[in-house]
Amino acid sequence: MPARKLLTFTLLFGLSAPLWAAKHVDLDYRVRFLPETDQAEVRLTLEKGEAVRSLAFNLGSKGYYSDFQADGEWLQESPGDGTWKPAKGKASLSYKVRISHARDNGKFDARMTPDWVLLRGDDLVPSARMIKDDKIELVARLQFDLPKGWNGVETGWPKIGTNKFRIDNPSRKFDRPTGWMLAGKIGSRRAQLGDTDVTVAAPVGEGMRRMDILTLLTFVWPEAQALFPRDPAKLLIVGAGDPMWRGGLSAPNSIYFQAERPLVSENGTSSLVHELVHVFSRIRDAEKSDWISEGLAEYYAIELVRRAGGMSEDRYQVIRKKLTKWSKKVGSLRTENSTGPVTARAVLLLQELDREIRKTTDNQRSLDDVTRGLMRLDKVTTQDFIEISENVMGRGSEVLDSKLLR
C-alpha cells in the first residue's frame, strides 16, 4: 500500500475507532408545565442508570427547585447543590422548578401565564457535573406535555416528533436542553436563510413583529454568512411584550427579543443584529475582557447593516459622533461587564483598528480576520486579541497600544 494511502487509512481508523467502541444510552427529558402553580415538572430518565455514576447539579441560591424524587440516591448537603446517583436499570429523577423570574425593576426574564410560558431551558435542567464511562455516549431527547388548549412549543433544537426535540451539543459532556423556549397559544413565522432554519415565535396578541424581524434578517444574513465560518442549523427568536424585560439576550441557537423594542434604535444600532452576532460568533471572554465580545457584537450590529446597504455613509458618521459623545468619559475598557459607554468606546477602537489593518495590508486583511481567529479560542483575553490582531497585520498595532486596554 502506498505510504500516503497507508497514512490516510491509519488516520481514519484512529478517528473512527472511538465511535465504533461507543455505547449509546438514551437520556429522555419530559417536561410538564403547571400554569396554576407557576411551575414545571421535569423528569430525567436514563435507559440504563448504571451508565452514569453521578450527576452533581448546581441548583443555585434562589430556591427554584423542589420535590426531588429519584431512583437510586439523591444527596443534598446544601440548598444549592444536589447529586443524583442513579439506580441500575431504567432510572429516573424528577423535580419541580419555579418558572417566573422577576428582575429588580419588576420586569421578567422568564414568565408563565395561563396561556403561555417563555423561559430558558437552562433553568429547566440546571448545569451538572457528570461522571460516566468515557465509552458511554448519551442520546438525549426532550418531550413536552402541554396543558389543555396550548397549541405548540418552540425550541432552538431539531424537532423529531410532536412536541419532541433532539438535544445534541458536542461541546458539552452532559447534553441538556439549553437556550430560549416558548410554549402555549403561540404564533410562528419561518424562513430558510442560507443553511439555517429560522423561526420567529411569540404568544398570540403580544405584538411581536415577526415578519419585520424575518425581513431584517433576510437582508443581513448573506453578510453574516460571509463573515462567520459557521452558522447554526436552526435559530429560534422568541419575544413578548410588557412586563417582559425590555432588551435582547442570546443563548445557544436562540435569541430573546422584547416585542416592543425597535429593530433599529434611534442611535442607529440594532439590538437584534447585536444578539445575532453573539449566536454566530460564540466568542466568550475572560480576565476583564468583556469589551471584546460586547464590542464586536455592537461593531457588527452597525457594520452588517451597513454592508447590506441599510446605512448611508452620512448616517454612519452620525452614529460615530454619537458613540464618541456617549463614551468620552471612558478611561478603560477592562471590566467584567461592559456597560453602554464602555461598549461604545470599544466600537470606536474596533473601527480604528479595522482601518489600521486595511491600510497596513493594502486592503488584503481586516478586522473580520481577527474575529475569525478569536472564534477558534474557547475564551478570549485582551492579550489574545492584541496578539491575533498584530499577527493579522504582520506588525505591532498603534491603535492597540492604548491605555484603554491596560
Interval 330-356: pLDDT, tens: 999 999 999 999 999 999 999 999 999
All structural domains of the chain with their residue ranges:
23-198, 279-405
Task: Give tens-digit pLDDT for 294-309.
Answer: 999 999 999 999 999 9
Above 80 in pLDDT, residue 163?
A: yes
Task: Give tens-digit pLDDT for 77-135.
Answer: 888 999 999 999 999 999 999 999 999 888 999 999 999 999 999 999 999 999 998 88
Above 90 in pLDDT, residue 7?
A: no
Average pLDDT over residues 181-198: 97
Burial of 266 (0-12, 13-18, 19+ CB in 10 A): exposed
- DSSP 8-state class, residue 58: E
Task: Give tens-digit pLDDT for 14-48.
Answer: 444 444 457 999 999 999 999 999 999 999 999 99
Average pLDDT over residues 390-395: 97
Task: Give tens-digit pLDDT for 248-280.
Answer: 999 989 999 999 999 998 888 899 999 999 999
Report the candidate in 54, 58, 55 with the shortest Cα–Cα distance to residue 81. 58
Q: One-letter amino acid identity for 284?
A: R
Q: According to the CATH classification, is domain 23-198 in 2.60.40.3650?
A: yes
Neighbouring CB atoms inside 10 A of 136's CB total 14
Report the candidate in 127, 144, 141 with the shortest Cα–Cα distance to residue 34. 144
- What value does the CA radius of gyration of the chain take, rounded to a whole number of Å? 23
- DSSP 8-state class, residue 244: B
φ/ψ of residue 66, rounded to 5: -155, 175
